[in-house]
Structure 1
Amino acid sequence: MIAVIYGSTTGNTSDAAVKIAKILGEDQVELFDVKDVGLAALEFFDHIIFAIPTWDYGEVQADWQDVWDEIDDTDFSSKTVAFLGMGDQFAYAEWFQDAMGMLHDKVVAKGAKVIGHWPVEGYEFDASKALTADKQFFVGLALDEDCQPELTEGRLEQWCEQLKSSLLKAA
């Protein structure tokens, strides 16, 4: 089984989590709203997809903020993880997908193996904490429901196909 854990204020991130479950197979995925379960449920999963929106000027969404310090006390060394971020690349171009990058850094520091990098082509932004070292990829799938909602479905389908070989073979 794959855990998809998300925090969502407007519903965009939870909608994306539901779509991931449908694409990967609802029999393979268990959805968790971080505000309801915290991080405790993750200990039972070897494969985790984190879904997090960036708020305002590079801030972590409120539900994630409530468990932010717990991440530092969680061992992810036996986990394979992927990240999905929500952001607005035009209104917040200097902080696009920052929360995804900050969550990635915390989880990697606790030993996680990361899959699911996503190319930066097709986005317009000034800066992001969610870029790989070579700045050619995001550390996970970057979605923008504010400025590019028409691309969400295709990006989710393509990204989930990319993840399937790593996640479903051992799930």
Structure 2
Amino acid sequence: MSIGIFFGSDNDTTTDVCERLAKKLGGAELINVADADADAINKFDKIILASSTWGDGELQSDWESYAETLSGANFGGKVVGLLALGDADSYGSTFCDALYHLKNVAKGAKLVGATSTDGYGFDESKGVEGGKFVGLAIDEVNQDDKTDERLDAWVAQIKGEGF
């Protein structure tokens, strides 16, 4: 089964993290949502949705449009992991809120990869449910030294959850 990593990036940080993730997964197709149509998700059974968090907790701008494009998409039968980037120091009250929005995009999917909030210094996040992030939170601004370790652990986790 092929893996698709759907991402949006304004300053290439999300692109870089997704490229690293693709290598750790043993290969995956990277799809920039700025260039994708609604049918793009249909060629994958395993999908990563990745976005940085902007402003007051919004999705990256290309994702804002693509989320609308996918509003009627069927994620049934697909295994989906969510990844968000954020800045816990400067945006501690909306840290990785993109996870929440991405979860709403992936309606009907089997979600994998919920992670602990331990080790992050933030105030709140819409991406937290039941005391865990609904996906992987990455802080390349303040904790870039932990990104590879977090990616490695997450890849092992999602593979163990059927990804």
TM-score (norm 1): 0.90
Q: Deviations over 1:97-152 (max 9, x none)?
A: 11111111232xx31110001100001111111012x22x1001100011111101
Q: Report the counterpart of residue 157 of structure 2 in structure 1.
A: 162
Aligned-pair identity in percent equals 39
Q: Report the counterpart of residue 3 of structure 2 in structure 1.
A: 2
Partners of 1:100 and 1:39 in 2: how far apart? 20
Q: Report the counterpart of residue 12 of structure 2 in structure 1.
A: 11
Q: Report the counterpart of residue 38 of structure 1 in structure 2.
A: 37
Are 1:81 and 2:63 counterparts?
no
Query: What RMSD in Å do the two structures reach over aligned CA positions?
Result: 1.1
Partners of 1:86 and 1:116 in 2: how far apart? 15
Does the 8 Å CA contact 1:53/1:61 hold for their aligned counterparts? yes
Does the 8 Å CA contact 1:52/1:61 hold for their aligned counterparts? yes
Are 1:47 and 2:46 counterparts?
yes
Partners of 1:81 and 1:62 in 2: how far apart? 21
List, as ranges, runs of 4+ consecutive aligned residues in structure 1 with deviation greater than 6 Å.
Answer: none
Of stretches 76-85 and 96-105 in structure 1, the one that deviates more from structure 2 is: 96-105
Are 1:24 and 2:25 counterparts?
yes
Are 1:98 and 2:97 counterparts?
yes
Partners of 2:116 and 2:80 in 1: how far apart? 17
The alpha carbon displacement at 1:40 in A equals: 2.2
SS of 1:142's equivalent? strand
Number of aligned positions between the proteins: 161
The alpha carbon displacement at 1:20 in A equals: 1.0
The alpha carbon displacement at 1:38 in A equals: 3.4
Does the 8 Å CA contact 1:83/1:116 hold for their aligned counterparts? yes
Long gaps (5+) in structure 2: none
The alpha carbon displacement at 1:75 in A equals: 0.6
Does the 8 Å CA contact 2:67/2:105 hold for their aligned counterparts? no
Q: Deviations over 1:26-62 (max 9, x none)?
A: 2xx1111111123421111111001111012111111
Aligned pairs for 1:115-154 (under 5 A) are: 115-132=112-129, 134-135=130-131, 137-154=132-149
